[in-house]
Structure 1
Amino acid sequence: MWKEYLPDDEHRLASQVFALLTNDHDDEISRRADVRAKAFEDVKRERYLKLVEEREAESTAKWEQEFSKAIKTSIANRPPTRLSPEEKALYLRIIADPSSATRADKNQVYEKPPPDEEDRLCKDKVGITMEELRHKALSNPDTLTEDECDILAYGFTKRDESSGKPSFWKSDLVEDDMELSRQVDEILYTQEDIEIQRRAQHRHHDFDDVIEERRKRKRQQQIDERAAKMRAAQPRWLNHMSDAKLSRWGFVVFRTAYSEGTEHEWEEFQWAYLCNKDAQLYKGWRRASNFCSLHQPLLVSDSSLEGAGVHVLRQRFKAMREQSEIPAGIATDCFLIADQAALDKALLSSEVEYQPKAQGEPDPWQSTFSIRAVNPDYDASIPIPSEGDLASYEGEITIPLPKVFDWLYYCFLAKSEDWETRYKLVKGGPAEMMVSTILPLFVS
Structure 2
Amino acid sequence: MPEQGVVYLDGFKLSLQELGLTRETLNNHVNGRIIPFMLDDEMRDLYRRANDDPEPLSPAEKNRVLGRIPPEDEERLCQERLGCTKEQLYEKALTQAEDLSMLECDMIIRGCDYDWRNISNKATDLERIMKLSAEDRDLVLKGREAIKGPAILRAAEKRKQYTKVRAAEARRKSEQLKIARQGHRAAWVQAMVDRDLPRWGFVVMRTEYSDPRSDEAWKRFQERYDTVGKLIMQSWSGRPPKAELWLTLETVFVSDAALDGASADALRERFKSMREGLPEGIRRDCFLVQDKLLAETEWLTVRAVNPDFDPEAPLGTLEASYDSQETSITVQDLKGFSGEIQLPLSKVFDWLHYSLLTDSETWERRYKQTTQKQPKTLVSYWPYPEY
Query: TM-score w.r.t. structure 2 length?
Result: 0.45
Structure having the higher Rg: 1
Highest RCO, 1 vs 2 (Cα 8 Å, sep ≥ 6): 2
